[in-house]
Amino acid sequence: MLFWLGAAAFALTILVSVSLHELGHMITGKRFGMKVTQYFVGFGPTIFSFKRGETEYGLKAIPLGGFCKIVGMTPQDDDVLPEDQPRAMWRFPVWKRTIVMSAGSITHFLLALAGAWVMAASVGLPNIHLPQTSADQRTYPALIQVGECLPVQTELKKLDEATQKRIAGEECKPGVNGAIVPPAKAAGLQDLDRITKVGQTPVENYGQLTDAIRASPAGPTVFEYVRDGQTRTATVNLVSDERAPLEDPKGKVSLVSVAGLGWNTDQPYVIKYSVAGAVPAAGEYGWYLVENSFKAMGKIPQKIPALWHSITGDERDPDTPISVIGASRLGGEAIEKGVPEVFWQIFISLNVFIGLFNLLPLLPLDGGHIAIAWYERVRSALYKRLRRPDPGRVDYYKLMPLTYAVILIGGAFTLLTATADIINPITIFK
């Protein structure tokens, strides 16, 4: 029950975000004197509406967004009444049109910053200065986390297939189904010990530690480490097991030595701030999300095959894109498990991503209209400097094939992610 309530609550927050996006367009447009004839939440059949001034406000049946109609967005709009021509949007200075068209994305950014500020001052924000990937971890000090149980793959493979499937989701217990006490734990190593040498190999960071362990022969190996400022040694009885390459977790497995330890840190994973200190912290966290959103957008094309394969039976890669359905499921799961901070992290990240995505210079996105407005402005200035006649406005009709292509690709991608989120959804908690 909590899951569905959380999912519904998250879907509602997305709807509110998109509605505020359109509200940003409407408010700035009205402030500049543009004529806004409609502001609706949702699409499809109208449930109710009312008119105040020259604008009709209302709610439609399909709660998947909203829209704001500003008269004369392009010179080709043929539904502009003669008396409204002076207030047509395309006649306004380019800087005013830029503000109006970017107001939606700015609204998303403000929502994200507000959410980050509340999180920072209440439950705290994730420590973004910690390594975010296994590749990043390799450059950090060789502080360790000692495991409680080590499943040995070579032993698991000796079991029949039915048993392997049965125990796949069970808790690891030493002495059961080939699992053992991790060699590091058996040797007396503890969490936050800093390894400085494996055998005769000096270790300066976690990457060198993992490489040294894998390269060592199975059997007793002397580890030198620092605990409470004192240098100590321990003999770790390394075991041989199958592992994929560190740089390619899905690559071909091979026999290497393992110790049953992982990377650790003495830094907090979550940092709570004062009300005043939460302001710069929210800004820093927001910029971190901006950078990661750009990286995520750049990786979208290469993630499409993984999305398709997840629909046809493969395991879902948690790093693949999600739809509104997937985001709502994750929000519901966060509420169900009692971690509302994850709910808000997803909300903040989604607002940053939507804000940036809408600014891409592609029609029919807001960024496409902004790009055309500035293209016209620069082209007119250039022609004026060359003492040539102004070429006039861009013909949007000539751009329709490109616009339809963007809509088609976007629609197909949305359908793909939504299908994957229904058939094979990403989950936070296993």
CA angle in degrees (0–180, nearest 5) for 165-169-170: 105
Residue 317: half-sphere exposure toward Cβ, Cα within 13 Å: 15
Q: Which residue type occupies 416?
A: L
Residues forming beta bridges with residue 397, ordered by sequence position = none
Of the candidates 275, 321, 333, 271, the one whose C-alpha atom is nearest the C-alpha of residue 127 is 271
From residue 14, give the alpha-carbon distance in Å to each of 65, 196, 346: 8, 49, 11
Mean pLDDT in residue range 149-175: 65
Radius of gyration of the chain (CA): 28
Q: What share of the chain is helix, strand, coil (3-state, %, to 5)?
A: 50, 20, 30
| pLDDT tens-digit readout, 187-234 | 999 999 999 999 999 999 999 999 999 999 999 999 999 999 999 999
Q: E strand or H helix at 220, and its extent? A: strand 219-227
Q: Which of 46, 154, 25, 155 is nearest to 99 (CA)?
A: 25
Residues of the chain above pLDDT 70, percent = 96
pLDDT at 417: 92
Identify the structural domains of the chain with CATH numbers, from first to last. Answer: 125-130+270-343 (no CATH), 134-147+182-263 (2.30.42.10)
- 430: confidence class by pLDDT, cuts 50, 70, 90: low
- Under a CB-based contact definition with an 8 Å cutoff, are residues 203 and 212 in contact? yes
How far apart (Å, rounded) are the C-alpha atoms in residues 139 and 154? Answer: 30
CA 201 – CA 210 distance, rounded (Å): 11
Active-site positions? 22
- pLDDT higher than threshold 80 for residue 145: yes
pLDDT exceeds cutoff 60 at 88:
yes
* pLDDT tens-digit readout, 268-280: 989 999 999 999 9
Higher pLDDT, 361 or 251: 361
Tokens matching residue 173: 């217990």
The 8 Å CB, 24+ separation contacts for 278-282 are: 278/117, 278/120, 278/121, 279/117, 281/116, 281/117, 281/120, 281/125, 282/113, 282/116, 282/117, 282/119, 282/120, 282/125
Closest CA to 324 of 425, 409, 428: 425
Residue with tokens 């450059």: 139
Measuring CA to CA, which residue among 232, 144, 156, 153 is closest to residue 190? 144
Spatial separation of the C-alpha atoms in residues 284 and 293, rounded to whole Å: 14
**Span 289-335, pLDDT tens digits:** 999 999 888 888 998 898 898 888 888 888 888 888 888 888 888 88
Residue 156 pLDDT: 55
Mean per-residue pLDDT, 110-135:
91
DSSP state of 337: T
- pLDDT score, position 387: 87
For residues 46-70, average pLDDT: 90
Q: Which residue has the tokens 């861009």?
A: 394
Q: Is 269 helix (H, G, I), strand (E, B) or coil?
A: coil
- Please give the Cα distance from 120 to 115 (Å, whole number): 9
